[in-house]
A and B are shown apart, each in its own frame.
Chain A
Amino acid sequence: GDSVTQMEGPVTLSEEAFLTINCTYTATGYPSLFWYVQYPGEGLQLLLKATKADDKGSNKGFEATYRKETTSFHLEKGSVQVSDSAVYFCALGNSGGYQKVTFGTGTKLQVIP
């Protein structure tokens, strides 16, 4: 079945540091890939997405590229801010008439001033 593996957290970075959160997946067919973010005390919200191989999703300075050859969708940001502190979930969505999304375990990011 489909699965998503992302790096264990928590990740603690200083403000303006470079961020990478690794994510790899296993899926049948051609899934869409997502990064969701969960700020403290809130539900999840979509951060970025990519629907086919070599697509790059980007939003709020974050970006991730859909790499079919390595089955990866790593999240990156060049300069993190304290306000980026949150839990980040990598996910895949498989179409085919049933939109079931599979999530990774989440990676907590803490950015310190």
Chain B
Amino acid sequence: GAVVSQHPSRVICKSGTSVKIECRSLDFQATTMFWYRQFPKKSLMLMATSNEGSKATYEQGVEKDKFLINHASLTLSTLTVTSAHPEDSSFYICSAIPAAGASTGELFFGEGSRLTVL
């Protein structure tokens, strides 16, 4: 099956610093990747849709200047949390849809990245 990998799986940073999380599709090309944030005991909140070669589409309420998304190639999307604060601590998950073939909405997820801001 399609494999999506995230890195790092865990990161701890100081308040005010920036953190970059990578999402890679290992065995397929993905024109579209999604970034989610998962709060404790709550569902996944879609933050933004990342399209290869174009600007990301952010969901309402998500600060685009704080959560920078870049999708420079068909296999890599990055999420940069700028000037991180403790309230940004969360589990961030990416997912991807293969570019080729018919799709029924099935997503392939990365393992997630746990961000802790001190």
Contact between chains at B43 and A99 (CB < 8 Å):
no
**Most chain A C-beta atoms within 10 Å of own C-beta, residue among B6, B105, B112:** B105
Is the pair B109, A43 in contact by a Cβ cutoff of 8 Å? Answer: yes
Contacts of B95 in A (CB 8 A): 44, 101
Bound complex: CA of A43 vs CA of B116, how far in Å? 17
Q: Does chain A have a CB within 8 A of B44?
A: yes
Interface size of A by Cβ–Cβ distance < 8 Å? 23
Interface string of B40-64 (1 = CB under 8 A from A): 0111101001000000000000000
Q: Is B42's CB under 8 angstroms from A99's CB?
A: no
Docked-complex contact A43 and B6, CB < 8 angstroms: yes
Bound CA–CA A49/B108 (angstroms) = 13
A90–chain B nearest beta-carbon distance, Å: 10
Q: Most B CB atoms within 10 A — which of A32, A45, A100?
A: A100
Q: Shortest distance in angstroms between A42's beta carbon and chain B's nearest beta carbon?
A: 6
Is A46 engaged at the interface, CB distance under 8 Å to the other chain? yes
Is A34 a contact partner of B111 (Cβ separation < 8 A)?
no
Tell me whether B93 and A43 are in contact (CB under 8 A). yes
A99 lies within 8 A of B110 (CB): no
Quote the shortest CB–CB distance from B79 to chain A (angstroms). Answer: 14
On whether A46 and B106 interact (CB within 8 A), knowing A89-B44, A106-B43, the answer reads yes
Q: How far is the CA of A93 from the CA of B109 in the complex (A)?
A: 15
Most chain A C-beta atoms within 10 Å of own C-beta, residue among B6, B95, B107: B107
**Interchain nearest-CB distance for B90 vs A (Å):** 14
Judged by a CB distance under 8 angstroms, whether A51 is at the interface is: yes
CB–CB A94/B112 < 8 A? no
From the candidates B49, B105, B108, B110, name the one contacting A93 in the complex (CB within 8 A): B105
Q: What are 25 of the A-B contact pairs (CB < 8 Å)?
A: A31-B105, A32-B104, A32-B105, A32-B106, A34-B106, A44-B95, A44-B107, A44-B109, A46-B108, A51-B104, A89-B43, A89-B44, A93-B105, A95-B104, A99-B97, A99-B107, A100-B46, A101-B46, A101-B95, A103-B43, A104-B43, A105-B41, A106-B41, A106-B42, A106-B43
